[in-house]
Structure 1
Amino acid sequence: MPSNPLLHFITKVINLEDVKVINYHFLTDDEIVIEIENKLKVAKCPHCGNTSDKIHQNHWYRVRDIPLSDYQVLLKVNRRQLKCKKCHQVFSEELDFIKARRTYTKRLAMKVIKEVLETNVESAARRNRMTTSEVETLLKELEVDLLAEKPKKLKKLGIDEITQLKGGKNYAAVLVDLETRKPIALLEKRNKAVIAEYISSLGLEVLSQIEEVSIDLWIPYKSLIQEMMPNAQIVADRFHVMKQINEELDQKRKKEKRAAEKIKNKKERENILAGLTQSKYPLLKKKENLNSEEKAKIESVEKVAPELGKMYRIKEGIRDIFDSPITSDEALYKFLEWTETAYKYFPKSCRTISRWIDEILAYFDSRTTQGIVEGINQKIKLIKRRAYGLTNFDNFRRRILLNWYFCY
């Protein structure tokens, strides 16, 4: 029988609250079985709430725990059955470190999940001497335990989408708490019915306290929010407004380049093409972020394609409006002035701004954007690559949401 000081030392090392080690033995060269018992002599009856110390029977079984140094650890646990003195019902005691009917401790489950998120299911199972089905069960259980709770303090919501497969058109919807900077849901489709079903599940108490919802310029999002969250202010994302303007600008660049390629005069053709070559990214950048070479390229564009150069200056004009410390009322007049000048060059964007003007102006009240959502989308893409692709959507969603729970 091991000495009491040694058992006390092992009790300290395994560090389980209200548990003491009563024995141990080596199962193999790298596996140790540690026999433990509960220090608490009483347990609460789940039927009537009364405490009892009357043992009905002992139930010994083994569970796997986190490794101890180079040894795999198995805990020999006694989950006692007691009989309530008040209601006379038989019940099993609750053990904080292990869920009922599980062959592993809660902390081992957490360790395995973190390893899955860093690698994959097969590697995590192999390292912890578990089956892949056990690991997959861990993932599913943890999703229920940790992610099922509704976001009760949700005040600022962001809605966007991400493609599930590279280059595909199969979009998943991403819903983000903009204050905690964490995704709260990943939905298999971004259509109105699927998003409405999830939003409805949050309940009226949660929906009524949402103050702002940031979205891209997609009408179904807008109508959905108006129907289900009438108290929320819809904020059109400024970066999606700029994205549309940049797309029109780039279309003009391509048009100028195609026109230049048709010029018969070789010298004139080469001069214009030289001015337009490698101009895409300088034209899309903010003027204050241009380096000396990019500034020179903008000057070349203005010389060979004056209209394109003017469009760049107009584009930067609306960016200046968004960056200005002005109120929504002041911004309205700025946008009216801008559209008068810009309509000739950016007709599509001007019509979009006209349709979404209330939602665009809402940005100036609290400066809410989709920047956080876009950042999360980029991290999701990184997780997909690290996981070698995820074709099963449930696994994809589970991995993404658990990753944010543990890592961010």
Structure 2
Amino acid sequence: MVEFFPSTYIHSIEKQRFFCRDCQTTFVAASPEVDAGCFIANRVKQSIPIELQDNLSMKDLAHRHGVSPTTTTRILVQRGNEHAPDFQHLPENLCFDEFKSVKHVTNKMSFIFCDAATRKIIDILPNRLQKTLRDYFSRYSLKARAQVKTIVIDMNAAYFTVITELFPNAKIIIDRFHIVQLMSRALNQTRVTFMKKLFGTDHEKMKDYRKLKRYWRLMLKSATHLNYQDYLYQRLFKKPMPETESVDYLISLDPTLKATYQLYQELLYYAQKNDIKRFKNSLASLKPEVSIYMKTSIKTLKKHLNRIENTFKYPFSNGPLEGLINKIKVIKRTAYGYRSFWHFKHRILVSFKLTNQKNNFTCLSKVV
């Protein structure tokens, strides 16, 4: 059977049985179009993995090729097993992260890592526990692990222990996004705490409450990106004003909020400029008016200061891996979820491996 969507073509092939007079045995003639004992054409089996890179559910893919979903899953598993990692080699730069996979894995979170330079997925593990990571990376040879120079991670303590034990030459890079996120959450918590003090008071303070609630995104925005030229009408202020004036008014309502905001903007600016010296100075010169939430975040940043230096020194981040995870979420949503982690893993690996091969072929075609 050969599928040419939307029509199905069925080829009738007669079996020819031959008898060998020398060995007194019989055998059936073989055909390159179909395997022995199989009713599905090899072209269909070759077409299914190619379309696995598209955003299609397994049921839709099976319907397009005129086969059952079980057959499609079996072909997926066969192709997925072909993408086993090479335990004798690792790239020089890696990215570690986790994503929400299936229900039966520990904490519903699975571990994924990729090559930071080529952005290709290397492998996916069921969970992110220390034991799982240690057992898996111990399968790589010491020579392969010694080749790794940098690893980009978030602030998960389990990663620190595993990297220190198994990667002797690797430098840990804290993902820049998580550094900024830690500071922005502290500023946001400071704003919410001040808003709770204003709530339920007199009418004038409730006006400030509504302003803080409406324009909270401006406070998290980098000061260098705030608009100071265009005077747009602001409904809660009842007059036209630029974004910079709106922020100045909001932070003037509370000294703690103002001190926290100023420190946040300093650290954010130095992080954008990769100025580790001034970043350290800002962490050291902490004003007493800064909120307790920001002080806790500063304490965490000081704890990881050596790793943050690597963040400013090297150009790698978890941005490419986050993009891959976004596509994984789309695959999961299209399939309405997966029950089996291994089927989910095979679908991810086959999809991304074929996509990378397609992109490489396109690039080579342009060069030729």
Q: TM-score, normalised by structure 2?
A: 0.77
Please point out which of 291, 300, 305 is paired with 2:249.
300
Provide structure 1 residue ranges, at least 5 long, that are not aligned to the other structure: 1-63, 82-91
Distance 1:312 1:106 in 2: 64
Q: How many aligned positions are there?
A: 329
1:241 alignment partner in structure 2: 179
Q: Which has the higher contact order (CA 8 A, sep 6+)?
A: 2
The CA RMSD measured in Å over matched residues stands at: 3.4
Q: Identify which range, 173-182 or 115-124, moves more after superposition.
A: 115-124
1:163-213, CA deviations, whole angstroms, 9 ceiling, x for partnerless residues?
Answer: 2369x9522112121112122222221111112222222333321211111
Amino acid of the structure 1 residue aligned with 2:341: F
Query: CA 1:72–1:313 in structure 2 vs 1: closer, same or farther (change >3 Å)?
Result: farther
Query: CA 1:162–1:110 in structure 2 vs 1: closer, same or farther (change >3 Å)?
Result: same
Please point out which of 236, 240, 264 is paired with 1:315.
264
Matched, 1:220 2:158: yes
Query: CA 1:241–1:95 in structure 2 vs 1: closer, same or farther (change >3 Å)?
Result: farther
Distance 2:133 2:167 in 1: 13
Query: CA 1:151–1:372 in structure 2 vs 1: closer, same or farther (change >3 Å)?
Result: farther
Query: CA 1:159–1:133 in structure 2 vs 1: closer, same or farther (change >3 Å)?
Result: same
Matched, 1:124 2:61: yes
Matched, 1:199 2:143: no
SS in 2 for 1:247: helix
Query: CA 1:306–1:68 in structure 2 vs 1: closer, same or farther (change >3 Å)?
Result: closer
Please point out which of 184, 187, 206 is paired with 1:270.
206
1:395 alignment partner in structure 2: 343
Amino acid of the structure 1 residue aligned with 2:273: S
Checking the alignment, whether the CA contact within 8 Å between 1:276 and 1:300 is kept in structure 2 is: no
Distance 2:17 2:123 in 1: 40
Checking the alignment, whether the CA contact within 8 Å between 1:161 and 1:173 is kept in structure 2 is: yes
1:230-255, CA deviations, whole angstroms, 9 ceiling, x for partnerless residues?
Answer: 11111111211111111111110110
Matched, 1:405 2:343: no
Distance 1:278 1:322 in 2: 27
1:35-71, CA deviations, whole angstroms, 9 ceiling, x for partnerless residues?
Answer: xxxxxxxxxxxxxxxxxxxxxxxxxxxxx45639956
In terms of fraction of residues, the more strand-rich structure is 1
Matched, 1:341 2:256: no
Q: CA deviation at 1:359?
A: 0.8
Distance 1:395 1:361 in 2: 40
SS in 1 for 2:117: coil
Distance 1:199 1:370 in 2: 20
2:100 alignment partner in structure 1: 163
2:366 alignment partner in structure 1: none
Distance 2:86 2:3 in 1: 27
2:198 alignment partner in structure 1: 260
Query: CA 1:178–1:297 in structure 2 vs 1: closer, same or farther (change >3 Å)?
Result: same
Distance 2:108 2:278 in 1: 38
Distance 1:100 1:222 in 2: 52
Matched, 1:364 2:308: no
Amino acid of the structure 2 residue aligned with 1:173: F
Distance 1:361 1:75 in 2: 68
Checking the alignment, whether the CA contact within 8 Å between 1:235 and 1:359 is kept in structure 2 is: yes
1:286 alignment partner in structure 2: 222
SS in 2 for 1:130: coil
Q: CA deviation at 1:120?
A: 1.6
Provide structure 2 residue ranges, at least 5 long, that are not aligned to the other structure: 19-27, 231-241, 357-368
Distance 2:112 2:219 in 1: 30
SS in 2 for 1:160: strand
1:136 alignment partner in structure 2: 73
Q: CA deviation at 1:100?
A: 7.8
Distance 1:229 1:93 in 2: 55
SS in 1 for 2:138: helix
Checking the alignment, whether the CA contact within 8 Å between 2:80 and 2:347 is kept in structure 1 is: no
SS in 2 for 1:118: coil
Distance 2:12 2:149 in 1: 50
Amino acid of the structure 2 residue aligned with 1:161: E
SS in 2 for 1:122: helix
Checking the alignment, whether the CA contact within 8 Å between 2:251 and 2:261 is kept in structure 1 is: no
Matched, 1:176 2:124: no
Please point out which of 287, 292, 302 is paired with 1:354.
302
Q: CA deviation at 1:383?
A: 1.8
2:362 alignment partner in structure 1: none
Distance 2:133 2:8 in 1: 48
Checking the alignment, whether the CA contact within 8 Å between 1:99 and 1:106 is kept in structure 2 is: yes
Name which one, 1 or 2, has greater alpha-carbon Rg: 1
Amino acid of the structure 2 residue aligned with 1:272: D
Query: CA 1:153–1:224 in structure 2 vs 1: closer, same or farther (change >3 Å)?
Result: closer
Query: CA 1:181–1:325 in structure 2 vs 1: closer, same or farther (change >3 Å)?
Result: same
Q: CA deviation at 1:78?
A: 9.9
Amino acid of the structure 1 residue aligned with 2:262: R
1:361-401, CA deviations, whole angstroms, 9 ceiling, x for partnerless residues?
Answer: 01232222111222222222222212212232222222222
Checking the alignment, whether the CA contact within 8 Å between 1:176 and 1:373 is kept in structure 2 is: yes
Checking the alignment, whether the CA contact within 8 Å between 1:271 and 1:304 is kept in structure 2 is: no
Q: CA deviation at 1:357?
A: 1.1
